[in-house]
Amino acid sequence: MPPHCDTRDGPVVKAARRALETGNPSYLLIWVPEESERELRSVFERAINARRAGGEAQEVADNWLFETAVRLHRAGEGAPYTGLKPAGLDEGSVVPRAERAIETGDPGELVHFILETVQEDLEHRFRRVKETKDHLPDDIRAGREYIHAFIGFVVYAHHLYEFVKAGGGHGERVGAHR
């Protein structure tokens, strides 16, 4: 996945900023696993106190909170913490659409984009299978091209389906549908 949760303009830092503005750590605590709540609360309280000094102390306190929150969030995902990334990194095609869907309450654009992308890819793979299917029995090289295309199409379709059925991400499982 492109950079997102570990960027200065990502949702974890946005939540941290809101928590600091309101003095309410709950805006940020939801981004970390329960077992990390104590550590984050401690850093939040210390950052609030340090911010009172203003200037550089506030900047250092804020950055400490941002880095701690992102590190704990990443750990909760089972991902390594590789530092806080700058704002404005390319998030790819899906993340902005997904966030827009959440903001507007309408997933239509995202659903259309993903379905169109999957359809194009499956059709491309299928065309490759059809193009290579009719080969002479003794043309081993052409036969192997067909098998490569065949397996690429079938296995891709299977993995795509399994990924969707498994919830595809943070361990969530979608309802049973076939």
Q: Would residue 89 count as lying in a domain?
A: no
Domain region containing 60 = 11-76
Shared-domain flag, residues 115 and 162: yes
Tokens coding 2: 């492109």
Residue with tokens 């809101």, as numbered in its chain: 18
Same domain (yes/no): 159, 127: yes
Same domain, 70 and 101: no
Does residue 88 lie within any of the structural domains? no
48 domain-assigned: yes
Whether residue 27 contacts residue 13, with contact meaning beta carbons closer than 8 Å, is answered with: no
Give tens-digit pLDDT for 29-88. Answer: 999 999 999 999 999 999 999 999 999 999 999 999 999 999 999 999 898 999 999 998
Q: What is the pTM of this model?
A: 0.73
Q: What's at 123, amino acid-wise?
A: E
Cβ distance 7 to 13 under 8 Å? yes
Contact indicator for 23, 49 with CB cutoff of 8 Å: no
